Amino acid sequence: MSKLLIGGRWVDGVSTDRLVDKFRGEVFAEMAVASPEQVDEAVAGALAAVEASTLAPYERYRILSAAARLVEERSERLIALMRDEAGFTRADGDNEVRRCVQTLELSAEEAKRLHGELVPMEAGAGVRDRLGFTIRVPRGVICAITPFNSPLNVLAHKVAPALAGGNAVVIKPSNHTPLSAVELCRALIDAGLPPELLALLHGPGSAIGRRLLEDPRIAFYAFTGSTRVGREIQAAAGLRGTQLELGSIASTIVCHDADIERAIPKIVNAGFRKAGQVCTSVQRLFVDRRIAGRFVPRLVEAVQAAKAGDPADPSVVIGPMITPEHATRAASWVREAVAGGARILTGGTHEGSVFEPTVLDRVDESMRVVCEEIFAPVVSVIEFDDVGEAVARANASPFGLSAGLFTSDISTALRTARLLRFGGVHINEASSARVDAMPFGGVKDSGFGREGPAYAIREMTEERLITIAY
């Protein structure tokens, strides 16, 4: 059973919830549920720990580096765990573990590199014999609230930079995937982290999350999830710091001069890995009309070759969605689009939580498969006549997390990248392209702030100016 981590100890909750295998629907574990009083106790313990902490930057580096090695050594256990609680195929689980290792390593290095700046005090008129510089200091208690679709690496992107910057962390993972968070905490503690600097709470977001938002002792909230919840967090946080990675309707544009051999496998991977349940999954695929006749059939053929089913089967590329209800909702959106004139080129059906990879065309912007985040293995093909039209239609979304662009023309690539209003634009990559060292985050309703250890650590620390007159 997954327990709670409070005050440096693993403890029971006030009740338990059952955890269900995402493919078979069978109970495989239990999750402890925290009481409001335990939430308060967890925050109090984290605050006391960070105020008493004497961990130097090099010690944080050593701990995070050791945790990376432990996660790497425990990869088989973690892959099997995420198969059950998240429905990940082996490829998805292996990628999640490898990226978590890299995130821990990058954060370890940033612990040694955190620095301030020298301020040119004497640049002011009449200023003499003054020295000024800044330092970075911990904010205090960081609250990390994470989703089910990346239960290990997204959590590492919040916890590791926070610890590297000298903070304590209170974690509220998704109820679907609490065990991955338990394992990351165990790795950090086994690596030498004082356990009091971590707290782990399970339970419904409506109760646990709200209690955390109401606690003024928390200095900063790092959240990945829906725009609706992000707005609630921002409203409750007030003047406290936030890093919000929110909803998305990711677009990828394929120009007439694109390298099709390169584009199709990247688009298929980006559209359907993790059953399409990634905020940067290709949802809207804009294809130049001049090549659509040869591009789309080849895309469909590649999608049909991607097998969906039991994530324990090595031949399966697309595992189950997180619940049968999520699959049913996505199927209803597809049926609604078809009723409005869309055409299913492949897929469109589901059995339980397993949704067949689906490609639609003849869609329009009023359909929910286009204008709302479907979070399912469904890609809508939209043909365009010139790249300016594609850019305008991609930008028309209220979201702006990530976009991809395939072209062989460097001028088209650079001009278009400036025009696409997204947090990241990836040339000759699909919208989900990511390296964990890069700054990752959105604009508009996709939130603000940046993940990536070098960027997150600056948000999770405060800049303090120090001046000296001599």
Taken in order 223, 229, 235, 236, is the CA torsion positive or negative? negative
The C-alpha torsion from 356 through 153 and 232 to 208, rounded to 10°, is 100
Answer yes or no: 245 catalytic.
yes
**What backbone phi and psi angles, to 5 degrees, belong to 279?**
-65, -20
Amino acid at 244: L
Q: DSSP code of 431?
A: T
d(CA 212, CA 198): 15
Helix (H) or strand (E) holding 359, with range, is strand 358-361
Answer yes or no: 51 catalytic.
no
Active-site residue among 105, 279, 451, 459?
279
Q: DSSP code of 350?
A: E
Q: What share of the chain is helix, strand, coil (3-state, %, to 5)?
A: 45, 25, 35
What tokens appear for 384 in the block? 């365009």
Between CA 417 and CA 380, with CA 376 as vertex, the angle to 5 degrees is: 55
What tokens appear for 184 in the block? 């990351």
Q: 439 vs 61, 204, 359, 403, CA distance in Å?
A: 21, 30, 30, 14
Active-site residue among 85, 196, 245, 383?
245
What tokens appear for 123 in the block? 């640049």
Q: 400 vs 98, 423, 442, 443, CA distance in Å?
A: 27, 6, 6, 5
- Catalytic amino acids? 245, 279
